[in-house]
Each structure stands twice: as structure tokens, then as C-alpha cells.
Amino acid sequence: MADLNANINISSLIRQDLSNKVPGSSGYINYGSLSSSKYLDQNSYPNLSLKYVNIISTTTTLDFTALNDPIDGTVNATGQQLLFAYLHNSSSTSATISPGGSNPYLLFGSNPVTLYPNETIGIYCESLPTVTGSSKTLTITTSGHVTVAFGFGTTTTASP
């Protein structure tokens, strides 16, 4: 079995316009130190055991117990926690990420999240719900292209 690993790098640049805050100013303040990195593999804590990567190009409900990965085939994350999520909207229209209508997985709670054109959301978390038969679906509403990558695993120490 090939090694399964993920190196998650999330960084942000926030640029604040000072022209309306400081009289006579036309400058900006850049906050560039907002970054985080986490490496996960089969022997890390938390333990990464499954991944799913795909490009969504139409409204789709993902079932975390039966994901059709174009490379790895069917991925069943039952009993696993979602450890990281990466969502990138490369289209010119907004996309919506929301709990599925039936057996919803509450990635962002019960409310939908809008992913604006060319926006990326990256999440690393050890406390999201475990995928079960009643907590398993996520709906992505798009008319463009949304790249998704999910990593599933457990928050118990892996065996060597």
C-alpha cells in the first residue's frame, strides 16, 4: 500500500485600506503572518487514513460513506472524522457549501457558506463529527468548478 500523506498549508494575506481610516493616507497595511502548516500521515497524530479529491462542476451532494474518487475509486469514511477540508472555487460565480438535505454532515454548522469566485477555504480540525449513517452528506451548489479535497482519519494515536 502506498503511503498516504497530506501537507496542509493555509496562509492568508489581509490588506487593509487606510484611506478612509487615517486622514490624508492612501496607504495599506498588509498582515502576512497568518499562516499555518500541518503534516498528516498514517503514523501521525491525528492519524490520516483516507482522502478524497475531485472537481465538482455541477450541484452535487457528496456522501462521505460512498465517495467516488476518480483515482482511488469508492471511499467510505464511516467511523472516521473529517480532519481537513480544502475547497477552491475557480469559477466566475459563487458556490454554496451546505449540509446535505438527508443525513447532513455539519461541516460549517447548520448554515450554508458561500464560496465566492476565486475564493479558497482551508480547514484543519480535530473535533469535527465522526461520519455515520446519519451524519454523512454535504451539498455543493455550483455552476462552475469547485475543487475539493478532504482527509479523514482518527484522533487516536496510530499504530506503527
Residue 41 contacts residue 3 (beta carbons within 8 Å) = yes
- Which is more confident, 99 or 127? 99
pLDDT tens, residue by residue, 21-70: 545 545 545 444 445 566 666 666 677 788 888 999 999 999 999 999 88
Amino acid at 6: A
Residue 37 contacts residue 124 (beta carbons within 8 Å) = no
Q: Give every CB contact of residue 119 below 8 A, 6+ residues apart in sequence.
A: 88, 89
Please name the fold of domain 39-154. Jelly Rolls (2.60.120)
Sign, CA dihedral 95-70-156-11, equals: negative
Place of cell 447548520: 110
| pLDDT of 15 strictly over 80 | no
Average pLDDT of the residues in 111-128 = 88
Q: Cα(first)–Cα(last) distance of the chain, in Å?
A: 14
* Domain extent listing, the chain: 9-36, 39-154
Residue 82 contacts residue 107 (beta carbons within 8 Å) = yes
pLDDT tens, residue by residue, 128-158: 889 999 999 999 999 999 999 898 988 765 4
β-partners of residue 113 are: 97
**Torsion angle (degrees, nearest 10) of CA 97, 100, 106, 109:** 60
Place of cell 490588506: 15
Quote the DSSP letter at residue 91.
S
